[in-house]
Amino acid sequence: MSTNGHLTAKDYRTDQEVRWCPGCGDYAILAAMQSFMPELGIARENTVFVSGIGCAARFPYYMNTYGMHSIHGRAPAIATGLATTRPDLSVWVATGDGDALSIGGNHLIHALRRNVNFKILLFNNRIYGLTKGQYSPTSELGKVTKSTPMGSLDWPFNPLSLAIGAEATFVARAIDTDKAGMTAVLRAAAEHRGSAFVEIFQNCPIFNDDAFAFVRDDKEGVNRVPLRDGEPITWGAGAEKALRQRSDGSIEICRADDEGVLVHDAHHEGAALAFALSRVTQESHGGTPVGVFRDVERPVYDDLMAGQLAAATEKFGEGDLGALLHSGETWKIG
């Protein structure tokens, strides 16, 4: 009675009323995910969503798969245990910028370096939504929020730079309302064996409205820099702008017909280019790359673990409990 077969987005809806605020970007992400899931061809019962706490973290309740709404920041740790013991499952983590980067930062970076086989969707709204509007680790410096009436003092993380610095094998960015772009990224993430890290720009109309208006509403592509593997990185209304690397390692804007325009190579083994691209931001360059920054192969933690179990069994035979208890120096009495 597998649920595999001809599923549609509807099959992924649960009977729970969706309780995000009207206009929340989370709706669009949910819709995109529910539409994308059938394409994956994985049975519903073999799919698991794990989350921490936050608005974003309500996600599992709305996906008609297995799911766990756990505790704040710990979803990557829980998913690690699940994915490592159940390689047959498709495991997804839904998390927010506070959940993933504040309290859960350590689990995130360790999951990424281990390359455990699950996909992390970070709903970045640059604010703590659920606790009603304190600044988050991605909030811009000087942000005035409930907890920072005179402006925040902390320099924000760039989630992609952090992930790349943490040895991530797959790093991408999408926008809540860009269904096509997000679906492409989700597809690539699902295809990637190992940890995949996807930052999704998500609007929180209640506490941080229009934080990403510059790309979200950018229908003409004036600000969106699409990354397409193997293609030159160009953008603008007429694709007239482009990126190229300076000799000092940083990236500058040039014209599309200039020499040395960067050709995107998501599969490049070295992380330096992906890192440099992650530093291209609206503030610094007037453009925001979206798409897959990095997608490289590296041994996957769960596979390696399974491999060691197989190798040990090959070498010592399937464990025999009686023999194990009797191992070491024994002696008989009576």
Partner 1 sequence: MSKPVEQLSQVIVRFAGDSGDGMQLTGSQFTSETALLGNDISTLPDFPAEIRAPAGSLPGVSGFQVHFADFDILTPGDAPNVLVAMNPAALKTNIKDLPKGGTLIVNSDAFNERNLQKAGYATNPLEDESLGEFQVHSVPLTSLTVGALKGIEGVTPREAERSKNMFALGLMSWLYGRPIEPTVEFLEEKFAKRPEIAEANVKALQAGYAFGETTESFAVTYEIKPAKLTPGTYRNITGNQALSLGLVAASRLSKLPLFLGAYPITPASAILEELAGYKNFGVRTFQAEDEIAAAGAAVGAAFGGSLGVTTSAGPGVVLKAETIGLAIMLELPLVICDIQRAGPSTGMPTKPEQGDLLMVLFGRNSESPVPVVAPRSPSDCFDAAIEACRIALKYRTPVYLLSDAYLANGSEPWLLPDVESLPDISTTFATEPNDGDEFLPYLRDEQTLARPWAVPGTPGLEHRIGGLEKADRTGNISYDPDNHDLMTRLRAQKVAGIASDIPELEVDDPDGDARVLVLGWGGTYGPIAAACRRVRTGGRSVAHAHLRHLNPFPRNTGEVLRRYDKVLVPEMNLGQLLKLVRADFLVDAVGYNRVSGIPLRSAEVADAIEAMVDQ
Ligand X SMILES: Cc1ncc(C[n+]2csc(CCOP(=O)(O)OP(=O)(O)O)c2C)c(N)n1
Q: Is 301 in the site for a copy of itself (CB under 8 A)?
A: yes
Binding segment for ligand X (CB under 6 A), chosen from 38-46, 130-138, 193-201, 255-263, is 130-138
- Using CB under 6 A, pick the residue from 170, 201, 207, 235 that binds ligand SF4: 207
- Beta pairing partners, 49: 67, 92
Nearer Cβ to partner 1 (72/224): 72
Please name the residue that has the structure tokens 């599309």: 256
CB 227 within 8 A of CB 289: yes
Residue 242 contacts which entry, ligand X, a copy of itself, partner 1, none (Cβ below 5-8 A, type-dependent): none
Q: Which of 299, 316, 320, 323 binds a copy of itself (CB under 8 A)?
A: 299
Binding-site partner at residue 130 among Mg ion, ligand X, a copy of itself, none, CB < 5 to 8 Å by type = ligand X
Q: Which of 125, 169, 223, 234 binds ligand X (CB under 6 A)?
A: 125
DSSP at 8: -
Query: Binding to ligand SF4 by residue 121, rule CB under 6 A?
Result: no
Q: Min. distance of Cβ 217 from ligand SF4 in angstroms? A: 17
Contact string 37-66 vs ligand SF4 (x = CB under 6 A): ------------------x-----------
- 3 state DSSP class of 214: helix
Q: Which amino acid is at 59?
A: F
Give the integer Cα–Cα distance in Å for 247 and 1.
60
Among 18, 21, 213, 312, binds a copy of itself (CB under 8 A): 312
Is residue 177 exposed (0-12), middle (13-18) or buried (19+ Cβ within 10 Å)? Answer: buried
> Which residues lie below 8 Å from residue 284, measured CB to CB, with a gap of 6+?
none
Q: How far is the CB of 254 from ligand X (least distance, A)?
A: 36
Minimum CB distance to Mg ion, residue 123 (Å): 7
Cβ contacts of 125 within 8 Å, gap of 6 or more: 25, 55, 56, 96, 97, 136, 202, 203, 204, 207, 208, 211
Strands 241-245 and 251-255: antiparallel
Residue 137 touches a copy of itself, criterion: CB under 8 A: yes
| Residue 76 in the binding site for a copy of itself (CB under 8 A) | no
| Identified binder of ligand X from the candidate list 25, 38, 54, 289, rule CB under 6 A | 54
Residues 6+ apart with CB under 8 A from 143: 126, 135, 151, 152
Of the candidate spans 18-26, 35-43, 78-86, 102-110, the one that interacts with ligand SF4 by CB under 6 A turns out to be 18-26
